[in-house]
A and B are shown apart, each in its own frame.
Chain A
Amino acid sequence: MSAVIEGHHDDHHHGPAKGITRWLYTTNHKDIGSLYLWFSFIMLFIGGAMAMVIRAELFEPGSQIVSPEFYNQMVTNHGLIMVFGVIMPAFVGLANWLIPMQIGAPDMALPRLNNLSFWILPAAFGVLLATFFMEGGAPNFGWTFYAPLSTEYAPPTVTYFIFAVHIMGASSIMGSINVITTILNMRAPGMTLMKMPLFVWSWLITAYLLIAVMPVLAGAVTMMLMDIHFGTSFFKAGGGGDPVLFQHIFWFFGHPEVYIMILPAFGIVSHIIETFSRKPIFGYDSMVYAIASIALLSFVVWAHHMFTVGMPIAGELFFMYSTMLIAIPTGVKVFNWLSTMFKGSLTFETPMLFAIAFVALFTIGGLSGLMLAIAPADFQYHDTYFVVAHFHYVLVPGALFSIIAAVYYWLPKWTGYMYDEFMGKTHFWLSFVSVNLTFFPMHFVGLAGMPRRIPDYAMQFADYNMIVSVGAFLFGLSQLLFLYVVLKAIFYGKKATGQVWEGAQGLEWTLNSPPAYHTFETPPNLEAGEAKG
């Protein structure tokens, strides 16, 4: 099948336009994928800089560098940017680049909508960052923006925040409609659902989750807007409402959101592990069912984020048990990855190193999550650094490592140039050591009772906090090395072959590196089973 595709060039389609308008007007999934990925990369450094401010402030106890008010703005915007501006756009960027190539489609189903989905993101984040320079300062109520902190006690910029969130939500919904339509409607003939690559499967389910919960977030911020400016009482007990209602609505969005940030990672890691184990993924079907189960369960576990808020005991128990259930499909995935590696011909290139680190460290994050799921135990852990350690383990060596792994894995395909393997491995080991140095001690201070979201802490936590800060600075610097490796590959890298990796399977590897501007203008005809994995 490769002979049909390689070097294929259609005369009545041109290459990319020249100059800035290429990026402003583009309808090409590869261009839009690159835009998303670079946007995410830039936001990683902005959000990362905020993390550095936080860790500098916490380097020693006592008020050190910034005012408590500014510290709150840092914590809030670090969270918002990392969640909505880094992890999600990076996964959408990967979806844009990879899904059409993996399913043999000419582009995304709705190319102009695709461009719109991207370009409203810089608008939303531009407004969000501009609030730092407005009266009252940037949002300071945490990325979860609980009422009444975000309503009665919020700075006036909360109004801009609300509309910015609306725009981010619109971007996600339009992007997801595009992804889901592409997957359902544009697969090459012969690629049935259960033959789709796992990254495509993970995104199909992620897109479904996004369309299901982003509107609920829109509803939550709309209620905030009404409470703040139009006298309603959704979150005001004096009128018969309830501030806890906000938490319920937020986490009804928030918990599926957590899986939105990890399901595509599952897909990525599955591809990388099978490639460098030179074996097809173990238990493909069970991988698909596990992703689907995790997604469905994510709708009925939200209140485990709010065990201490005062729920009836029946609620506490229901959400405790439903949360624990998630460990089962997640365990299936972890064991499938291990079984794929078992007796494989393993090699340890940079993407594989990041993928293996993902499996190990994500599992640590998952297990601390299981500890947090135990309602009576959570009364002790709630809002401590243990929670911070938990979600950073699933988001940094989890989601972020999978994105970095994906970039190393597919960069030669996208650009046509190999990255520097030695520098890549250096980047990995620096990141691996520093990420654990940063987040592992947080477990200890958390269990000992250090609360999250505070600019100062008791003397007894000083040693560990200093270690954490040193680890965080090292991790931050390591990501500059990542930028260097990527740029070096693009400008000075060695030519990559179309296959790139010896063990890589799937349609994207049948294309040239870099692929033509338009690929699969005529869909490849697949024999049964050929595209699996």
Chain B
Amino acid sequence: MSSDSSYYVPESSKLPIFMAFGLLLFVLGAGSTINDLGKESSNSYILLMTSFAVIWGVMFVWFSNVINENNKGMYSDQLNQSFVWGMAWFIFSEVMFFFAFFLALGYVRMFSVPWLGGEGEKAITNILWPAFEATWPVMVTPDNELFPGAEKNMNMPGITKLHTWLPFWNTLCLVTSSGTIALAEAALKKGKRAAFKSWMVVTISLGFIFVFLQGLEYYEAYAHMGLTLGAGIYGTTFFLLTGFHGFHVCLGAIILTIMTIRGFGGAFSEHDHFGLAAGSWYWHFVDVVWILLVLVVYVF
């Protein structure tokens, strides 16, 4: 870390405009790829893949530049504080993204499904499908031909069968990994680099085990339980909440993998390791989301 007191303002940079170009390609590529789903000869995915290449390429160069600038001592304490605020507010924005999906789940469970089943003041919606009975999880949907409900759900099977229940192992993995990354950080701060590296390896291993188990669970859902995206509101909320969470675990695991590789390459000092710290905050954030998610999606 530098003791230079002036705030470093980069002269000018080609990175943002390339990133903006990558995102433009992404909008066009993602839009056309999704619109062409189900069509036979479509080349739109090439555009989408190109956009990913541009975006990841720019990110790689951008982060490398930031690391190099920091190593050259161009960053003041004040600038490092800007990174801290920036990361904190970014995580807040992620919290609010998940909030939208939790809000949807809450609304559906508390209001729209009971109303469809004939409860409450707005039970008039029951006349649409008079046979529909409100239960949660919704195993028989109001229009069960169009949205065939799942045969089985993912709810907790009871304490005695806990070991047969994948989310239990997932929870164990993620909560443990939150602890191990804290140990890794603590080791780094004390200068115990060997311990730091081992705890990082343990953390990312747990992260990838989580992703693997989540994949296994999705396979089970599709192959044996009739639980799909099209299985009505239960499948919808189940897959979107766990899916976006899983996507964030993947991101977090990739971030931490990069940090581990950097750690093996000798990066990070006892006092200057913001990249790792930010990755660790992110990891704690996905952990907290998971705990809430287990409670409202799987247990209650």
Contacts and interface: CB of A to CB of B under 8 A. Distances in A.
A226 B229 contact: yes
B140 to A, nearest CB: 9
Contacts of B34: 159, 225, 229
A216 B96 contact: yes
Contacts of B261: none
Given A120-B20, A233-B232, A242-B107, A181 B85 contact: yes
Interface of chain A, main secondary structure: helix
Interface string B139-183: 001110011000000000000000000000000000000000000
Residue of B82, B113, B228, B239 with highest tally of chain A CB at under 10 A: B82
Given A177-B89, A240-B116, A248 B20 contact: no
Residue of B16, B92, B100 with highest tally of chain A CB at under 10 A: B16
Given A115-B16, A215-B100, A164 B27 contact: yes
Contacts of A226: 229, 236, 240
A213 to B, nearest CB: 7
Residue of A182, A234, A249 with highest tally of chain B CB at under 10 A: A234
Contacts of A26: 12
Interface residues of A, number: 83
A245 B108 contact: yes
B86 A167 contact: no
Nearest to B29: A163
Nearest to A32: B16
Contact of B85 (A106, A111, A185, A233): A185
A215 B9 CA distance: 29
Contact of A25 (B13, B233, B235, B240): B13
Contacts of B146: 238-239
Interface in A272-318: 310-313
A24 B143 CA distance: 53
B78 A107 contact: no
Contact of A240 (B37, B62, B113): B113
Contacts of B122: 310-312
A109 B75 CA distance: 12
A163 B234 CA distance: 26
Contacts of A182: 82
B240 A184 contact: no
A214 to B, nearest CB: 7
Query: Could you say which interface size class chain B belongs to?
Result: 35 or more
A181 B13 CA distance: 20
Contacts of B26: 163
Given A219-B100, A310-B122, A112 B232 contact: no
Interface stretch (A86-94, A122-130, A419-427, A504-512): A122-130
B230 A231 contact: yes
Contacts of B251: none
B31 A163 contact: yes
A236 B146 CA distance: 11
Contacts of A119: 16-17, 20
Given A127-B28, A236-B147, A185 B100 contact: no
Interface string A197-239: 0000000000000011111101110110110011111101111
Contacts of B89: 176-177, 180-181, 211
Contacts of A241: 108, 112, 232-233, 236
A245 B236 contact: no
A133 B94 CA distance: 34
A110 interface: yes
B104 interface: yes
12 contacts: A14-B11, A27-B12, A123-B21, A123-B23, A181-B86, A237-B112, A238-B129, A240-B142, A240-B232, A241-B112, A242-B111, A313-B121
Interface of B: 6-7, 9-17, 19-21, 23-24, 26-28, 30-31, 34-35, 37, 62, 78-79, 81-82, 85-86, 89-90, 92-94, 96-97, 99-101, 103-104, 107-108, 111-113, 116, 120-122, 125, 128-129, 138, 141-143, 146-147, 228-236, 239-240
4 closest A-B pairs by beta carbon, nearest first, are: A219-B100, A238-B143, A240-B233, A242-B112
Given A216-B96, A238-B141, A242-B111, 14 more contacts: A25-B12, A27-B12, A119-B20, A123-B23, A156-B35, A163-B31, A164-B27, A167-B27, A173-B90, A214-B96, A215-B100, A230-B229, A231-B230, A249-B104
